[in-house]
């Protein structure tokens, strides 16, 4: 028969669970319309100019077009060189258009009835979809492409989001007749990428056990009793 006021830690378990409702907005979001010039059109390949515009080259051509216009405006009216200037501008505009045209034949990854666009997260763009100043347009396109591939890998089931928490089953009694068990849990951490590194998992587990230890100590368990229970931690993984 249990002694009055006895407390005992029966088991300590580290639980790994599926996160059923993770927040993936830091990667970006699928949408029926593009919210930014950096959105990925899934009807085209990620390397297609539609999704991978050579922005710096197009901008250089735009500056050249503008320069020709200022030179033309500075000439007497009419000028012998106007036609040459117009032809040069037309050629540059045609080159700009060619650099932004599809070359993949719409051979993207979008399946039938799937959402067409993948929109970047606010890590790289402002609320209105314009680029943040921290990165160049080329860098933003590369980052969005990486996030898109990561999201597609998640959708394909190559990895998932999980949660980790520590649990202790304890026994309590206040008299010789009543003895009951209950579970004490750490706060838990969710939204963990399942393919994270071993060191990251070890850090999370250490933190969750520390949280659980604090709670057990607040319930009156001695540091010695807690340390003894933590020597035999059970792992319950997916």
Average pLDDT per consecutive 10 residues, the chain (238 residues; last block may be shorter)? 71 96 96 95 91 78 85 79 83 78 82 90 93 90 96 95 97 77 95 96 97 96 95 90
Assess whether 197 and 214 both reside in one domain.
Answer: yes
Rounded to whole angstroms, what are the CA distances from 9 to 15, 131, 210, 223, 233?
Answer: 17, 55, 15, 12, 11
pTM for the full predicted model? 0.77
Assess whether 85 and 190 both reside in one domain.
Answer: no
Task: Give me the phi and psi of 59, to 5 degrees please.
Answer: -65, -40
Assess whether 79 and 169 both reside in one domain.
Answer: no
Assess whether 114 and 215 both reside in one domain.
Answer: no
Assess whether 124 and 44 both reside in one domain.
Answer: yes
Residue 2: the pLDDT is: 47
Count of CB atoms situated within 10 Å of the CB of 139: 12
Assess whether 175 and 218 both reside in one domain.
Answer: yes
Residue 176: the pLDDT is: 65
Residue 2 within a domain: no
* Structural domain containing residue 30: 23-50+105-159
Residue 96: the pLDDT is: 74
Assess whether 112 and 46 both reside in one domain.
Answer: yes
Helix 137-155 vs helix 55-74: angle between axes, to the nearest 10 degrees? 150
């Amino acid at each position: 028969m249990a002694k009055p006021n006895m407390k005992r830690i029966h088991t300590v378990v580290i639980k790994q669970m599926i996160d059923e409702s993770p927040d993936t907005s830091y990667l970006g979001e699928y949408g029926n319309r593009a919210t930014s010039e950096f959105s990925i059109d899934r009807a085209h390949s990620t390397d297609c100019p539609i999704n991978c515009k050579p922005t710096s080259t197009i901008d250089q051509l735009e500056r050249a077009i503008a320069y020709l216009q200022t030179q033309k405006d500075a000439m007497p009216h009419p000028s012998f060189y106007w036609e040459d200037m117009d032809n040069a501008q037309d050629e540059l505009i045609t080159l700009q258009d060619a650099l932004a045209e599809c070359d993949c034949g719409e051979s993207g990854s979008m399946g039938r009835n799937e959402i067409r666009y993948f929109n970047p997260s606010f890590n790289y763009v402002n609320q209105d979809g314009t680029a943040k100043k921290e990165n160049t347009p080329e860098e933003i396109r590369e980052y969005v492409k990486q996030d898109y591939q990561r999201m597609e890998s998640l959708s394909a089931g190559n990895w998932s989001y999980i949660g980790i928490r520590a649990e202790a089953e304890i026994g309590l009694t206040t008299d010789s007749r009543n003895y009951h068990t209950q579970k004490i849990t750490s706060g838990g951490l969710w939204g963990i990428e399942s393919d994270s590194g071993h060191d990251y998992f070890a850090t999370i587990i250490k933190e969750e056990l520390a949280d659980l230890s604090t709670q057990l100590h607040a319930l009156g368990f001695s540091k010695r009793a807690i340390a003894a229970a933590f020597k035999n931690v059970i792992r319950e993984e997916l």
